């Protein structure tokens, strides 16, 4: 196979009916190099009362507050756990707050701790111009998806192409389409919408509907190195870090990168395929090869997500291209209590998925802390051994009253997505998580405050709120605020 058969795209483009139906818009993209003090207005808290209203708390609750001074360190890397000085004492609240007493002010914390984080000043968005992302979704879902993706996509140079699966033409939808483009411009996301000209209800590999457009965008200037296929809930922790990882592979060769499901039952059922939600990456030469055999690939299985990509790639390449697994991409094919996964202390973390369908965690809000503490602080664990307390940044604060368990292995709290009734077999997550430890008894061995929301103050500091709503047996609700300050 030739690595570049680039005149192919001209043929495909001219044959395409899409051009007649699409609305072309010229948007001038502002390039912003640093946005640390340039928060979106919806991220900024109005005042303490406004915050309390949004946390859904009962009339009275206990309140704790800790201040973490962020200290960037050049020689530090993301690790399984960071040892903390001082204390995080969850047994003695700073105050008890009664909402009915009117204008409430949350008391300030008296102590400040240092949180050491890997330096993130060197991360730049330059390389993100070499990635083109493709997503297929319904028209009404686009703005919510962009709102979620702004955390990682806005102010980068990556282009997002969206195939709108429930519109065959935009000409009569001009106003609604303009609205999407206006929102994307506001969020500083580079989006282009394409109507879906050949809708098929059972097609779960919908992005095939614009594989030619993905290719022609990829060979436009700047020429992309990678085309990424994603889904509505795909959440990248940092595009610059993702590009650092992709750069380790040779984009001039035909390559298929991604990650398997965490669930062995799924792998045995669906085979060795890259899961779409975790992010699938194909190099441009491989995409060119797929386009060359489009008719053949169109005939392959379309009833299972992303199987057609695999079948096409495995069947048309010579020598055969196989899936290269990339550590840090996560499909999250779990259900139930995912604390075992979130609290596992990830040493490499590139993507998350299913955070608002198969499980529920406010990942975009949890990720806000990265604006001030960098991407390697997200889901990093901080331990106060004497207090038997671990903060998993953006997920939970856990007290282990009977002692901290062996946190080198993940706690098996979750179940396999397809068989939620029974506890997973010991081999179920073996290939993805390694060995696990049994789940602790909630409320006895493990007492958790869950991350609920976060906002910025006017200086750009991030205020996170971890809440324990109370067990219902007279236990008071309890809130721990962690302030990350520059």
- Chain residues binding ligand NAG by CB under 6 A are 59-60, 98, 100-101, 103, 105, 300, 311, 315
Least distance to ligand NAG, CB of residue 116, Å: 34
Task: Considering the complex, state which of residue 33 and residue 103 has its C-beta at the smaller distance from ligand NAG.
Answer: 103
Task: Considering the complex, state which of residue 310 and residue 354 has its C-beta at the smaller distance from ligand NAG.
Answer: 310
Do 99 and 59 form a contact (C-beta atoms < 8 A)? yes
Task: Considering the complex, state which of residue 305 and residue 419 has its C-beta at the smaller distance from ligand NAG.
Answer: 305
Least distance to ligand NAG, CB of residue 98, Å: 4
Task: Considering the complex, state which of residue 98 and residue 247 has its C-beta at the smaller distance from ligand NAG.
Answer: 98
Least distance to ligand NAG, CB of residue 103, Å: 4
Least distance to ligand NAG, CB of residue 308, Å: 9
Task: Considering the complex, state which of residue 26 and residue 103 has its C-beta at the smaller distance from ligand NAG.
Answer: 103
Task: Considering the complex, state which of residue 59 and residue 200 has its C-beta at the smaller distance from ligand NAG.
Answer: 59
Task: Considering the complex, state which of residue 9 and residue 311 has its C-beta at the smaller distance from ligand NAG.
Answer: 311
Task: Give the integer Cα–Cα distance in Å for 284 and 1.
Answer: 13
Least distance to ligand NAG, CB of residue 277, Å: 23
Least distance to ligand NAG, CB of residue 196, Å: 24
Task: Considering the complex, state which of residue 97 and residue 218 has its C-beta at the smaller distance from ligand NAG.
Answer: 97
Task: Considering the complex, state which of residue 187 and residue 282 has its C-beta at the smaller distance from ligand NAG.
Answer: 282
Least distance to ligand NAG, CB of residue 49, Å: 7
Least distance to ligand NAG, CB of residue 62, Å: 12
For residues 209-239, b (16+ Cβ closer than 10 Å) or e, as one string?
bbbbbbbbbbbeeeebbbbbbbbbbbbbbbb
Least distance to ligand NAG, CB of residue 60, Å: 4
SS3 for the chain is CCCCCCCHHHHHHHHCCHHHHCCCCCCCCCCCCCCCCCCCHHHECCCHHHHHHHCCCCCEEEEEEEEEEEEEECCCCCCCCEECCCCCCCCCCCEEEEHHHCCCCCCCCCCEEEEEEECCCCCCCHHHHHEEEEEEECHHHHHHHHHHHHHHHCCCCCEEEEEECCCCCCHHHHHHHHHHHHHHHHCCCEEEEEECCCCCCCCCCHHHHHHHHHHHHHHCCCCCCEEEECCCCCEECCHHHHHHHHCCCCCCCCCEEECCCCCHHHHHHHCCCCCCCCCEEEEHHHHHHHHHCHHHHHCCCCCCCCHHHHHHHHHHCCCCCCEEECCCCCCCCEEECCHHHHCCCCCCCCEECCCCCCCCCCHHHHHHHHHHHCHHHCCCEEEEHHHCEEEECCCEEEECCCCCCCCCCCEECEEECCCCCCCCCCCCCHHHHCCCEECCCECCCEEEEEEEEEEECCCCCEEEEEEECCCCCCCCEEEEEEEEEC
The residues with which 414 forms a beta bridge, in sequence order, are 336
Task: Considering the complex, state which of residue 40 and residue 314 has its C-beta at the smaller distance from ligand NAG.
Answer: 314
Least distance to ligand NAG, CB of residue 303, Å: 12
């Amino acid at each position: 196979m030739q690595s570049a058969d680039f005149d192919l795209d001209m043929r495909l483009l001219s044959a395409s009916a899409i051009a007649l139906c699409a609305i072309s818009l010229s948007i001038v993209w502002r390039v912003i190099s640093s946005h640390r003090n340039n928060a979106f207005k919806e991220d900024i808290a109005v005042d303490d009362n406004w915050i309390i209203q949004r946390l859904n708390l009962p009339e009275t609750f206990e309140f704790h507050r800790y201040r973490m001074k962020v200290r960037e360190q050049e020689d530090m890397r993301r690790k399984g756990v960071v040892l903390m000085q001082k204390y995080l004492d969850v047994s003695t609240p700073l105050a008890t707050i009664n909402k009915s007493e009117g204008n409430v002010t949350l008391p300030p914390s008296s102590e400040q701790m240092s949180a050491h984080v890997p330096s993130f000043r060197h991360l730049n968005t330059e390389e993100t111009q070499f990635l083109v992302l493709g997503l297929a979704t319904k028209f009404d879902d686009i703005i919510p998806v962009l709102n979620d993706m702004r955390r990682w996509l806005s102010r980068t140079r990556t282009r997002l192409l969206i195939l709108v699966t429930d519109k065959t033409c935009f000409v009569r939808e001009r106003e609604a389409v303009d609205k999407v483009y206006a929102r994307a411009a506001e969020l500083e996301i580079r989006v282009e919408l394409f109507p879906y000209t050949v809708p098929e209800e059972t097609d779960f590999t919908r992005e095939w509907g614009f594989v030619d457009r993905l290719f022609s965008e990829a060979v436009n200037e700047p020429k992309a190195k990678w085309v990424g296929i994603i889904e509505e809930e795909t959440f990248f922790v940092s595009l610059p870090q993702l590009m650092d990882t992709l750069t380790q592979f040779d984009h001039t060769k035909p390559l298929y990168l991604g990650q398997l499901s965490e669930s062995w039952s799924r792998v045995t059922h669906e085979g060795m395929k890259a899961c779409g939600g975790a992010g699938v990456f194909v190099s441009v030469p491989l995409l060119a090869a797929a386009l060359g055999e489009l008719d053949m690939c169109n005939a392959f299985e379309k009833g299972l997500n992303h199987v057609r990509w695999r079948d096409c790639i495995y069947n048309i390449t010579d020598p055969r291209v196989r899936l290269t697994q990339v550590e840090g991409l996560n499909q999250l094919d779990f259900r139930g209590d995912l604390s075992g996964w979130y609290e596992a202390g990830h040493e490499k973390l590139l993507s998350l998925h299913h955070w608002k369908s198969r499980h529920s965690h406010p990942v975009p809000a949890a990720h806000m802390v990265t604006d001030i503490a960098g991407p390697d602080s997200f889901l990093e664990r901080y331990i106060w051994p004497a207090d038997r307390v671990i903060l998993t940044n953006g997920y939970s604060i856990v007290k282990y009253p009977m002692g901290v368990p062996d946190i080198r292995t993940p706690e098996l709290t979750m179940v396999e997505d397809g068989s939620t009734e029974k506890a997973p077999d010991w081999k179920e997550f073996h290939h993805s998580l390694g060995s696990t430890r049994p789940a602790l008894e909630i409320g006895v061995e493990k007492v958790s405050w869950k991350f609920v929301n976060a906002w910025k103050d006017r200086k750009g500091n991030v205020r996170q709120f971890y809440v324990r709503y109370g067990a219902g047996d007279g236990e008071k609700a309890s809130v721990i605020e962690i302030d990350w300050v520059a």
